[in-house]
Each structure stands twice: as C-alpha cells, then as structure tokens.
Amino acid sequence: MGRKLFFLVVLFLLIQRPASADSWTSRDKLNHFAFSAVIASAAAKSHGPMTGAAIALVPGVVKELADMGGAGTPSMKDMAWNAVGAMTGAVLPSGFLVVPTTNQSGLFFTYRGIF
C-alpha cells in the first residue's frame, strides 16, 4: 500500500501545472476550503473531529483524481486547501461560522458567532 501511495504522489507532482497558472489565493481555492470546512463541521458533530476531517477530504480527493483522469487540471494546492478547510471545520466550535472572503490583497477568513 505504501509503495502505491508513494507512486501516486510522485505521479501527481509530475503532472502539475506551472506554478504561475495555479495561484494559492484564487477563487477556486476559496471554494475548496469552504466546501471541505462545511462538510467537516457537519461530520465532526456526529463522528468527532478526526473522522469529520477525514470524511471532508473524500470529495476533494475524488475530484483531484477525476482531474488527473482528464476532467480538469489536478492541483496539490487544491488538496492543500481541502486539508486546511477540513481541519478548520472539524475543530471550530459549532457556534461559529467560517466566512471566507477575497479582496485585491488575497484570501482572508473571518469567524462570526451564529448563536
């Protein structure tokens, strides 16, 4: 299993787009973060934070594998934002809402109490 995973990671890194075409702060990264955070937050409430984060990573992994298969352009930066969103959503108190926003300076995250 370890060798297969290593091979997939190396293959994934070899087919990456040029760094200039894949910004760390694009709107797409905001979507990856927010989607993973919402799933993790919901799953963590009933399954705990670790399982919630793991559940939230599944759609991101599936999407990146589909991108590797030709459905889009795979990106390790997308997966990094999926992971950050999953971890954030899993550990935030249930009474808070993550509000990702963008402006000309980049991507920002604010937290608002909802209760």
For residue 8, being part of any structural domain is answered with no
Quote the Cα angle for 96-55-73, to 5°: 100
Report the C-alpha gap between 100 and 109 in whole angstroms: 4
CA neighbor of 110 nearest in space, from 45, 40, 33: 33
| pLDDT tens per residue, range 34-47 | 899 989 988 888 88
For residue 45, being part of any structural domain is answered with yes
Q: What's the count of helices (H) and strands (E) in the chain, helices before strands?
A: 4, 2
For residue 54, being part of any structural domain is answered with yes
Cα torsion 92, 98, 103, 107: sign: positive
| pLDDT tens per residue, range 78-92 | 999 999 999 998 887
pLDDT at 101 over 80: no
pLDDT at 94 over 80: no
Is residue 63 very low, low, confident or very high in pLDDT (cuts 50, 70, 90)?
very high
Residue 71, domain extent: 25-113
Is residue 114 very low, low, confident or very high in pLDDT (cuts 50, 70, 90)?
very low
* Count of Cβ atoms closer than 10 Å to residue 38 Cβ: 15
Number of domains in the chain: 1
